[in-house]
Amino acid sequence: MSVSGAVSEIVAERWVERTLAAYPAEILPFLSGEHDRFRNPVGQVIQESLTTLARELLGAMDNRATAPAIDALVRMRAVQDFSPSAALRFIFDLRPVIAEVCGEVTPQLESRIDELALMAFDRYLACREQIASLREKELRVRALSPAR
Amino acid sequence: MPETLVQIEQKAPRGDWRDPHVEFRKGSICYSAAAKNLGALSLPNPRAWQPMDADWKLPPDWKRIVLDGMKERLKKYRSFRLFMDICVRCGACADKCHFYLGSADPKNMPVVRAELMRSIYRRYFTLTGRLFGSLAGGRELTEDVIKEWFYYFYQCTECRRCSVFCPYGIDTAEITMMGRELLNLIGCNTNWVLEPAANCFRTGNHLGIQPHGFKDSIDFAAEEASEITGLDIEVPINRKGAEVLFVMPSADYFGTPHYYTLLGYLMLFREIGLDYTVSAYASEGGNFGLFSSHEMMKRLNAKIYDEARRLRVKWILGGECGHMWRVLHQYMDTMNGPADFLEVPVSPITGTVFENARSTRAVHICEFTADLIHHGTLKLDPRRNDHWIATYHDSCNPARAMGLLEEPRTILKSVCRNFHEMPENTIREQTFCCGSGAGLGTDENLEMRLRGGFPRANAVKYVKEKHGVNLLTCICAIDKATLPTLLEYWVPGVEVAGVHELLGNALVMTGEKERVADLRGELFAPEAHSVGSASEASHA
């Protein structure tokens, strides 16, 4: 494994830990310890998305990999019981994690983190807008039903 | 910069589960039942209120009502008393709830949800609890506890996945049912449950469709089925002396994609020459009484049997509905049974005796159709479904409440050439709920539904990516109403259909005109075009 690969693994591991810490303590052992993606979809989405994002952040920063990873994670957090700031906080957790692992956050990484944050904002808003439009669609169907 | 902007909570608050405080947030709760619906059903405490209000306007003696109600039910239902006593907190159920998996809220662990009620049971109905209170695991019954019950018992879809894993066989859904019954005693109920129940009580179906509207809808479907097939298809309504009373969920004749399933039923019945009738009175298979109280469930269920008696049919055939089958299979017999004025169902086509329905005299359409296919009585051309790559969602109630696992698969594999199962631990008895059952399927609760439906959607996404699945089939009206929204959010590009819709596509009817499109009007895949030819069609 390359040096950057090893570093990205450590970054991902600590990043996952920090992100999971936002969930209630009672569920943490399950979220971090159950590796079946169907038994533990929330834990697996966090694990897979953050691993991809850490790899891309320290690597090629390929949009074809980062966009689906951001979408999967933000889509999930957009419907969980988080305020918008708490839902997207995981992006900003990257700074202390990288500083801890690499010693410093270089200007290039700073700018990449900003880029991820902006992508996450876009996805979050898109998800919330989609929820509103799905709700509206269901309401329309309901309004057409004969009883209501 | 204002200080509040930099004071962002990094961690969720850590609390004791015994603290009953919950926050009601729009988007993840169901609204209260309208007073008119409580009035229509003669339920107590009709009033204007909402869960977000500080004052729920409970009756002054609400605490006595709830405790008396609990006492009465502990005596009346042995299962309830047993479930209050025997849990050993082994945790086998803890990570099995789709709401827990999707929301990561510890109070959605089935064991904790049940504990919300057990703690009250201990405090008021056990000696140690009365003497030692919280030291013996008891909690005081306060208004906050009532609010917490409302929040969590209307956040359980009674799907019973957790029960599959309980070594003691505790049916956690029954604890939810008891919780809702007690809440009903003081007027804490949701409109999405009570309005359909009130409608059903008044007109015979959830949507409140009156007899002339019912006839119009059925006639419209019969006309469309006739146009599609070129055959004369008529649907008898309220016909006395028919052999079979067919009861379906009302969504089948008024919802989409349910409607295509209805077309499938009608074509099947025409092809085999079934002597049947539908009823404008028993025009609802579903029973939202199940989601409020045993009494309500009994009242609504009785209509089907009253109508079967009035129409002098021999037995009942039921459509693709979910909780209808939980009620029929597990409660009907002791509520309104035995239905000994009916006959043990026998297929008039194959002669099969449905021994499993000896008591309720009600057969599921999938059992009936799978039997027809097993005996090779239908001419089917599965190529007509080649434009679909299907998977099957075991709807919770038919799967877990009546063990209907193979029959829908038998049908699907006979009518569709592209079928892929979702992963083993997400189907059959372990199927994940749609997240919208038990009266939670309303738009105002969409965020909660999306959380609860996430584990199911996650498995659908897997087969979509692996096999290109573009159709999720199921046999429940609530699934068909709510899964399209769920999939649009989590797995865009996958549609939802009933099993009998695909059967209707594949069914080669005697004397039918050449068919070029499926029941949705979508053209068949190119090689399936010449499907009217009997020689090319396969006998199942």
- Residue B118 — pLDDT band, cuts 50, 70, 90? very high
The arithmetic mean of pLDDT across residues B272-290, rounded, is 97
Q: Record the tokens describing residue B319, joined without a space.
A: 């459509």
Q: Is A80 left (phi over 0), alpha (psi -120 to 50) or beta?
A: beta
**In sequence order, what are the beta bridge partners of B379?**
B539
Kindly tell me if the per-residue pLDDT of B421 is higher than 50. yes
| From A37, A41, A135, residue closest to B446, measured CB to CB | A135
Which residue of chain A comes nearest to B427, CA vs CA?
A38
Please count the CA atoms within 13 angstroms of the CA of B472 that sit on its side-chain side. 32
B458 vs A38: CB contact, 8 Å cut-off? Answer: yes
The residue ranges of chain A whose pLDDT is under 70 are 1-3, 145-148
| Cis before B338? omega within 30 | yes
Q: What is the pLDDT of residue B15?
A: 65
pLDDT tens per residue, range B340-396: 999 999 999 999 999 999 999 999 999 999 999 999 999 999 999 999 999 999 999
**What is the extent of the structural domain holding A72?**
3-144
How many domains, chain A?
1
Kindly tell me if the per-residue pLDDT of B308 is higher than 70. yes
Q: Record the tokens describing residue A91, joined without a space.
A: 């992006």
pLDDT tens per residue, range B333-348: 999 999 999 999 999 9
pLDDT tens per residue, range B178-227: 999 999 999 999 999 999 999 999 999 999 999 999 999 999 999 999 99
Residue B312 CB neighbour total at 10 angstroms = 12
For residue B316, give the 3-state DSSP assignment: strand
CA–CA distance, B159 with B290 (Å, rounded to integer):
12
User: In angstroms, how far is CA B327 from the centroid of its own chain?
Assistant: 10
Report DSSP state, residue B430.
G
Q: What is the pLDDT of residue B10?
A: 46
Q: Which residues of A touch B (CB under 8 A)?
A: 21-27, 30-31, 34, 36-42, 75-76, 79-81, 85-86, 89, 127, 130-131, 134-135, 137-139, 141-142, 145-148
B451 vs A80: CB contact, 8 Å cut-off? Answer: yes
Q: Do residues B92 and B98 touch, judged by C-beta distance below 8 A?
A: no
| From A80, A134, A142, residue closest to B446, measured CB to CB | A134
Q: Do residues B32 and B187 touch, judged by C-beta distance below 8 A?
A: no
Q: What is the pLDDT of residue A2?
A: 64
For residue B246, give the 3-state DSSP assignment: strand
The arithmetic mean of pLDDT across residues B432-448, rounded, is 96
Q: What is the pLDDT of residue B532?
A: 45
Q: What is the pLDDT of residue B17?
A: 81
Nearest to B317 by CA among B350, B342, B291: B342
Mean pLDDT lowest among B2-6, B170-174, B221-225, B285-289? B2-6
Q: Which domains does chain B have, with CATH numbers?
A: 35-189 (1.10.1060), 196-374 (no CATH), 379-539 (no CATH)
Kindly tell me if the per-residue pLDDT of B14 is higher than 80. no
Q: How far is B508 from chain A (nearest CA, A)?
A: 33
Q: What is the pLDDT of residue A5?
A: 79
Mean pLDDT, chain B, whole residue set: 94
Kindly tell me if the per-residue pLDDT of B8 is higher than 90. no
Question: What is the end-to-end Cα distance of chain B in Å, rounded?
Answer: 73
Q: What is the pLDDT of residue B4?
A: 46
Q: What is the pLDDT of residue B539?
A: 46
A30 vs B254: CB contact, 8 Å cut-off? Answer: no
For residue B258, give the 3-state DSSP assignment: helix
